[in-house]
Amino acid sequence: MQPFNFQVNLKGIIDLLSNHLYSDPGVFVRELLQNGVDAITARKRLGQAFDGEVKVEVFSSHSISITDNGSGLTEEEIEQFLARIGSSTKREEQDAADDYIGQFGVGLLACFVVSEEIALVTRSAKDGQALEWRGKPDGTYTIKKLEREVSVGTTVYLKAKADYEEYFEYYRLSGLIEKYGQYLPIPILLIEDGYEQTMTVPTPPWRMSGEEAMAFVEEAVYTKPLDIIPLESRLGGARGIAYVLPYGVSLQDEKRHRVYLKNMLLSDKMTNILPPWAFFVNAIINTDSLRPTASREAFQENELFYTVRDELGECIKRYLIELADSNAELFERIVMIHYASLKTMAVEDDELYALFIRHFRFETSYGEMKLADIVREHSSILVAATLDEFRQVARVAKAQNLMVVNGGYVHDLDLMRNLPSVLEQVTVQVLNSLEFASRFEELSVVEQREARPFLDLSDELLGGYDCRSLIRWFEPADIPVLYNTNQDMHFFRMAEESEREANALFAEVVRTIRDDMYEKPHARLCYNYNNPLVRKAIESGDAELKKASIELFYTQALLLGNHVLGAKELEMMNRSLLRFMNMGFDAPEVRS
């Protein structure tokens, strides 16, 4: 036998396969199963009647054989498939029929990753000549005609090379065959010492009923899913199931969808076969039409791929829409478990927003409420942009029958501002906390005249704190004063603090940005004319008492609004408290 050479750099190809193309050396099992199934498919296309099967037999000394009763190879086909790697005639055949899974030549080379030699014995269903082909990683191969009787089909013999023996042990092979080929339509048999085990199962998950799929997933992942969603893409020839995860997951968590190509596992950790927003499900999908990459561990991301992904996504959306009506309790559980991530995706996806927004819960001036309840009772909604602004007005807003939503939590402001796009009868306005007090009832002309000296004194005392005063009627009466500020005020205070603590150059930069880009805002201190203490302070003829009252009202309002008191505010609060204590101790009834 004269040795021949492969018409490629075989060592380079093997390095590419082992180090770059395939993620696991065990993928050679998948490649051999694919070759066997494809050969059986090819023989059936010749019109021959037979029962196809693939047998994997384990021998001692870490050797195995893989036998199929498919079409076999002629000497010419051996040259085409094995000497000219990558030029398989199945490429042309695939244009006419999509029955084949892989490419014989490239797939067989995966065996060189785990074996020093490949021996192949074959007999074609066309000419009946038995042939033996042997190939080595150094790029040489031989072809020999055999005199002995050989059944139609192909047998591949492999012996493990050093460090790869475990892949030739019965239990490792069993796991690999089950992983890649348990749903193949051709029986796969595993044999050792006369013991024969059928590795294929009759019903794949994508052909199971909902109850069967639920039980299958629970057994496979040791967790019972919330529900099963049937998936189908007619254009892409894809069918499958998506199971709703019973625990919360992060959007950044790696997705692990199991994807099959013509019933052969392509990947058990594909991340992009479903749209990014479908983070709350894992999927098991089989497709006949998508084209694999060279490694056959992912799909080519062409126009058909994205069409299929969108179709599968539509299946999930339709399921959720129907579930909201048919099983509100389960729908609420899904929302509750995946709440944070659903909010994130609803901000980016208009359809998801329309589907979920009514079921999201928000902190409001009336307590925590579901949006469906909010809009049922209020058609006009104010949204506080920050938690601080919400806290400033929440209690007072409820007393005025105003619905204020806290938009200070992640995404809540954007979610609320987009509400009129799906509920046209609802108006949403971002709260301007500095103008909030203007919603309250104004005083009469006489009352304003009486209160004017008090307000002038307040402005004089608080001018150094960038605060201006006004007075209104509002509920509840037990709140004497309301302090309102906004983000511009916070910026100016941080800028002033940075200016004081920074070096001269940086302080000048801060001052320039602050003064050139912004008009300096002022906080609002709104006195409640409905409060008895405020009335008494206004009517008092004691100038020192009025001054102490204003200082105490101001610092109390800061505390009630959860504002941080600076050194000057703390000094003011202590000074006014001590003044009132002294006044109390100096009162006649105390002295007596």
Q: Name the residue among 294, 6, 337, 293 with its Cα closest to residue 143.
A: 6
68 is in an annotated binding site: yes
Q: What share of the chain is helix, strand, coil (3-state, %, to 5)?
A: 45, 20, 30
Strand order of the β-sheet with 54-59 is: 4-5, 140-145, 130-135, 115-123, 153-160, 63-68, 54-59, 188-192, 195-198
3-state secondary structure of 430: strand
The residues with which 115 forms a beta bridge, in sequence order, are 160
- Contact between 249 and 341 under an 8 Å Cβ cutoff? The reply is yes
Q: Name the residue among 185, 159, 128 with its Cα closest to residue 64.
A: 159
If phi > 0 it is left, if psi is from -120 to 50 it is alpha, else beta; for residue 242 that is: beta
203 is in an annotated binding site: no
CA distance 192 to 62: 12
Size of the chain, expressed as the number of residues it contains? 592
CA distance 216 to 179: 15
What phi, psi does 72 have (nearest 5°)? Answer: 70, -175
**CA–CA–CA angle 197, 201, 206 (5° rounding):** 160
Question: What is the dihedral angle through the alpha carbons of 376, 378, 379, 383, rounded to the nearest 10 degrees?
Answer: -120
CA distance 484 to 528: 13
CA distance 180 to 375: 52
DSSP letter (8 states) at residue 81: I
| Helices and strands, counts by H and E, the chain | 21, 22
Q: Which helix (H) or strand (E) holds 328?
A: helix 328-337
89 is in an annotated binding site: no
31 is in an annotated binding site: yes
CA distance 503 to 174: 71
Q: How far is CA 59 from CA 62, 104, 169, 359, in A?
A: 6, 24, 9, 61
- Contact between 263 and 205 under an 8 Å Cβ cutoff? The reply is no
Beta carbons within 8 Å of 331's beta carbon, 6+ residues apart: 320, 323, 324, 359
Query: What's 438-500 look like in SS3?
Result: HHCECCCHHHHHHHHHHHHHHHHHHHHHCEEEEEEECCCCCCCEEEECCHHHHHHHHHHHHHH
CA distance 404 to 384: 7
Binding-site positions for ATP read 31, 35, 68, 154
Binding-site positions read 31, 35, 68, 154
